[in-house]
Structure 1
Amino acid sequence: AIEADIEKHTTIVSSVLALGHNLLSEIDLRSRNINSIPRTIQSIEQRWTSLKDLIRKRKL
């Protein structure tokens, strides 16, 4: 169920993360927020990778 959905949408999630990176490089953000947003994106990427790894291990 959820594992299949995640596997089907891996490309979409990767595209969304890439879009986030592109938006960050184009948007003029306030200096107090500029440091926290890349850390947030990095955290999301790490969680996504961990989730994929966990699902792969469950399938074995």
Structure 2
Amino acid sequence: FLVSTPEGAALRVRYLHQHPALCAEMGGKAREFVRQNFLITRQLRDYLTLIHALMDGRKDRIELV
């Protein structure tokens, strides 16, 4: 949920409190998003991919998968 005011945030919090299944679903999706995009293991994989590409002498585009 995107909100632009404190009142809007309070309204959404109340809504999630009244809909625990949606709250759990959103929490699970948020947890997975963080795991895939921000944890150290993801960053390590990206750095290793970059280092490997540089050591291979590739000069074209390097894709971080």
- State the TM bucket, normalised to the shorter chain: 0.3 to 0.5
Q: Which has the higher helix share?
A: 1
Relative contact order, CA 8 A, sep 6+: which one is greater?
1
| TM-score for both structures, normalised by structure 1 | 0.42
Query: If you compute each CA radius of gyration, which structure gives the higher value, 1 or 2?
Result: 2
Q: Normalized against structure 2, the TM-score is what?
A: 0.40
